[in-house]
Amino acid sequence: MSGAGRIAAGALAAAAAGPAIAALVPPGVLLSLLAQACIYAILALSVGVLARQNGMVSFGHAAMFGAGAYLAGIGLGAPGLLPAEAALPLAVLAVAAVCFGLGLIVVRVHGIAFAMLTLALGQACFEAANKARGVTGGADGLTVALPREIFGLPAATFQRAEGMFLIAWLAMVALAALAALLARSRFGLLTEAIRENEERARFLGYGTVLPRAAVFALSGGIAAAGGVLYVLYNGFVSPETVHWSVSGSALIMALLGGTRTVWGPLAGAAVYFLLREQLVEVTERWLGLLGILLVLVMVFLPDGLSGLPRRLRRRHGAEA
Amino acid sequence: MRSRREAIIGATAFGASAAGLAGAARAQARREPIRVGVPTSQTGAYAVLGEEVIRGVQFAVDEANAAGGIDGRQVEFRIGDEQSNPDAARRAAERLALGGHGLLIGAISSASGLAIAGQLDRWNALYVSTVNKADRLTGEACGRRLFRANHSDAMDLMVVGPWLRGRPERKWGICAADYVWGRDSAAGFTRAAQETGKEVALSVFPPLGTRDYAPYISQLKAAGLQGVWVVLSGGDAINFAKQARQFGLAAELTIVGHAYIVPTTLRAAGEDVVGSYGVINYDASLDTPQNRRFVEAWRRRFNQDPGEYEAETYTGMRLIFEGVRKAGSTDADKVAQAMNGLEFESPFGMVRMRAEDHQLVMPNLMGRVVRDGGRVHRAIEMTVPAAEATPPPSAACRMG
């Protein structure tokens, strides 16, 4: 089977697993947590795409996530202006477009400087969400009333755990498949070549800024899609969602799962999110415990949790 | 911490049922207990306020159980950490509500309260705010399962107008934290000043978390003002108070604050705010028979005076108890229904839960920090009765 065929088959199998999980897990706290985990997994995926294709570590992806949520929320709040079916995709496209423009500048900066730049831009968005009270509701947040129907589905579907879990799961699988297909394409290979040796790619005659900016835009668009689902599910968004600590969590999820594979950040998000929710119940020191876990994973599994199968296979191969 | 708390609840429950007749105890055991969920801050920026909320809940629960429960129902409560973050507040409240503790109370930030408010129908829960001040909670965002047992920002501003009218100062300035609360309060004060024929000559908006207020204080001093309206809280209020005294601002003009002369400011900078005025939502010296009983029992237990968040949370718990009593049920939907128009006794005297917007109609106070011998404390100068202190329901509120 070709690479693209394998990805399509994997995506179909993963998509089919969604309804199975929804049928097995009784609707309640757990299913709601799973729905939220999927939404954050999409954010982690976006951070992973940037790390994988561009080799760039972002400390500002909560800004794209939050911008998607706020734009969708504002769009839904003005139903006379735009139908919801237009407002939601527009929110994603707008964030991707802005990221492309920004990307043309920021991808020229490398390493720690890039991380600091994304941190600064992200915090600027956080301040803006706090200060633009007329539009965002400021520190009190934005309450969003959904229209009766969106894409032919009753609004309640988006706000019930059963409905949102399926929607977020399918969106997560589709976006991950898209990222995997892209990584295999000519464009994906080019960005990886640039990631490994930008000087050389340029020497071979490739422009290196445009492809990297395109990856930045794609990554921003994926994060924004997560934000749109977030605001649909919660009916509420506040500046805390844009805060750098959310960017930090997304980065931890991506690193925990490993960014060498597309699915690594998804696994990292599931582990981080569900573990955190369990730890919060048991102890106020949950942040410390999660930190220790991350250190252990980084030391013993530098490729993250998704590197585990490969390591096992290699050890197995060595023994045989 | 958690296990000790549960042990306390258990011990109280045991004591109460052992004291009762065996038959009565059996009858009580059959009644559905009242299960209260407390999504409040145990970590994060508001953890200190969360402690006050938990004390208020604990006190109300123990008092009810010691008296044999509410209509023979024991009261249980469970705490969820909202981490001073609305996203975590939603999850903490969801876990509590779906786990059977659907009578929710006590989130700290208005954003957390608003995040919870949107989910109540889905969880078959209700939420009583005892700290959230944003007007939206009883305005645009109001709902049949959403209640406020504390003062809103609009209520705090209602007492400023009458107070200003009796003051000689004509030229005012404003020093407010640069975010939604500070800006809204500044706008409200400006309106109140204009209505009473005063002038607001200068407004400064230092960012949250400012340490050095010198540039703002020198602007205020240079503007030839006679009074300043201060809208700062927590560490900001303490820093401002110390520097305002140091640079002679406090000696030159009248300082009056929104949530400025609160116990946290008094504890950290008591000497610095002597002479300052401010809105006081609750004070232990409040002269109602219920409050005298409440303060006496509180002092016996905690060896200090109750603060406003403690008294308001206690009031919110009383609202839940009386709602359950009237509904004859612990079902959140029925209790919420029963709370409409409910009148009950609280430390604030007899209060009423207004059916139109679910704002508790309660009195509000203005006072001044004074030094009595060695003791720095607040003296109430003006009590605005409930009817005047509570603005009419917002037109933006449409009960669904």
Q: pLDDT grade, residue B18 (50/70/90)?
A: very low
A153, containing H or E segment: strand A153-154
Give the count of beta carbons closer than 10 Å to the beta carbon of residue B353. 24
Radius of gyration of chain A (CA): 20
State whether residue B95 sits within 8 Å of chain A by CB: yes
Residue for token pair 């000790």: B4
Residues of chain B contacting A279 with CB distance shorter than 8 Å: none
Among B41, B91, B135, B236, most A C-beta atoms within 10 A, so best to mutate, is: B91
Give the count of beta carbons closer than 10 Å to the beta carbon of residue B159. 23
Sign of CA dihedral A37, A43, A46, A51: negative
Cβ-nearest to A284 among B43, B86, B98: B43
pLDDT digits (tens, 9 = 90+) for B162-184: 999 999 999 999 999 988 889 98
Domain ranges of chain B: 2-151+286-361, 155-280+364-389
In terms of DSSP H, where are the helices of chain A? 3-24, 29-54, 61-77, 84-106, 111-131, 133-136, 155-159, 161-184, 186-196, 198-203, 209-234, 244-257, 264-282, 286-300, 308-319
Burial class from Cβ neighbours inside 10 Å (0-12, 13-18, 19+) for residue B262 reads buried
pLDDT digits (tens, 9 = 90+) for A75-89: 998 877 889 999 999
* DSSP-derived secondary structure for B234-249: HHHHHHHHHHHHHTTH
Residues of chain B contacting A133 with CB distance shorter than 8 Å: 180, 183
Q: Do B118 and A143 touch (CB under 8 A)?
A: yes
B155-280+364-389: in CATH 3.40.50.2300: yes
Residues of chain B contacting A139 with CB distance shorter than 8 Å: 109-111, 179-181
Q: Do B86 and A159 touch (CB under 8 A)?
A: no
Average pLDDT over residues A174-188: 94
Determine contact, residues A232/A166, Cβ cutoff 8 Å: no
Report residue B150 as tokens: 């504390």
Q: Do B136 and A143 touch (CB under 8 A)?
A: yes
pLDDT (0 to 100) of residue A319: 55
Contacts by residues B74-77 (CB-CB < 8 Å, ≥ 24 positions apart): B74/B13, B74/B16, B74/B28, B74/B33, B74/B34, B75/B33, B75/B34, B75/B36, B75/B321, B76/B9, B76/B33, B76/B34, B76/B35, B76/B36, B76/B101, B77/B9, B77/B35, B77/B36, B77/B37, B77/B38, B77/B101
Residues of chain A contacting B136 with CB distance shorter than 8 Å: 137, 140, 143
Cβ-nearest to A140 among B1, B91, B114: B114
Average pLDDT over residues A180-201: 92
* B218 contacts: CB under 8 Å, gap ≥ 6: B247
Q: pTM higher than 0.80, yes or no?
A: yes
The CA distance from A177 to the nearest CA of chain B, in Å, is 28
Q: Do A138 and B179 touch (CB under 8 A)?
A: yes
pLDDT (0 to 100) of residue A307: 86
Residue B7 has pLDDT above 60, yes or no: no
* B393 contacts: CB under 8 Å, gap ≥ 6: B138, B354, B356, B357, B359
User: Please, what is the end-to-end C-alpha distance for chain A in angstroms?
Assistant: 27
pLDDT digits (tens, 9 = 90+) for B31-82: 899 999 999 998 888 888 899 999 999 999 999 999 999 999 999 999 999 9
Report residue B121 as tokens: 């129908």
Higher pLDDT, B292 or B375: B292
Average pLDDT over residues A133-160: 91
Distance CA B9, CA B346 (A): 23
pLDDT digits (tens, 9 = 90+) for A225-272: 999 999 999 999 999 999 999 999 999 999 999 999 999 999 999 999
Distance CA B18, CA B22 (A): 8
Determine contact, residues B352/B341, Cβ cutoff 8 Å: yes
Cβ-nearest to B86 among A236, A280, A284: A236
Q: pLDDT grade, residue B19 (50/70/90)?
A: very low
pLDDT (0 to 100) of residue A92: 97
pLDDT (0 to 100) of residue B4: 42
Average pLDDT over residues B270-292: 94
**How many distinct structural domains can be found in chain A?**
1
Residues of chain A contacting B180 with CB distance shorter than 8 Å: 130, 133, 137-140
Determine contact, residues B337/B358, Cβ cutoff 8 Å: no
Length reported for chain A: 320
* CATH no. of B2-151+286-361: 3.40.50.2300
Report residue A166 as tokens: 């399926």
| Helix, strand, coil in percent for chain B, rounding step 5 | 45, 20, 35
Report residue B122 as tokens: 């889905």
Q: pLDDT grade, residue B27 (50/70/90)?
A: low
Cβ-nearest to B122 among A143, A159, A238: A159
pLDDT (0 to 100) of residue B187: 93
Q: pLDDT grade, residue B1 (50/70/90)?
A: very low
pLDDT (0 to 100) of residue B29: 53
Q: pLDDT grade, residue B23 (50/70/90)?
A: very low
pLDDT (0 to 100) of residue B30: 66
pLDDT (0 to 100) of residue B10: 43
pLDDT (0 to 100) of residue B17: 44
State whether residue B292 sits within 8 Å of chain A by CB: no
Q: Do A33 and B91 touch (CB under 8 A)?
A: yes
Averaged pLDDT score across all residues of chain A: 92
Burial class from Cβ neighbours inside 10 Å (0-12, 13-18, 19+) for residue A296 reads exposed
CATH number at residue A224: 1.10.3470
Q: Which domain holds residue A306?
A: 3-319
State whether residue A75 sits within 8 Å of chain B by CB: no
State whether residue B178 sits within 8 Å of chain A by CB: yes
Q: pLDDT grade, residue A298 (50/70/90)?
A: confident
* B335 contacts: CB under 8 Å, gap ≥ 6: B103, B126, B320, B323, B324, B327, B329
pLDDT (0 to 100) of residue B61: 98
Average pLDDT over residues B88-96: 95
Closest CA to A267 of A44, A58, A5, A94: A44
pLDDT (0 to 100) of residue B99: 94
Q: Which residues pair with B104 in a beta bridge?
A: B37, B127
Q: Do A143 and B90 touch (CB under 8 A)?
A: no
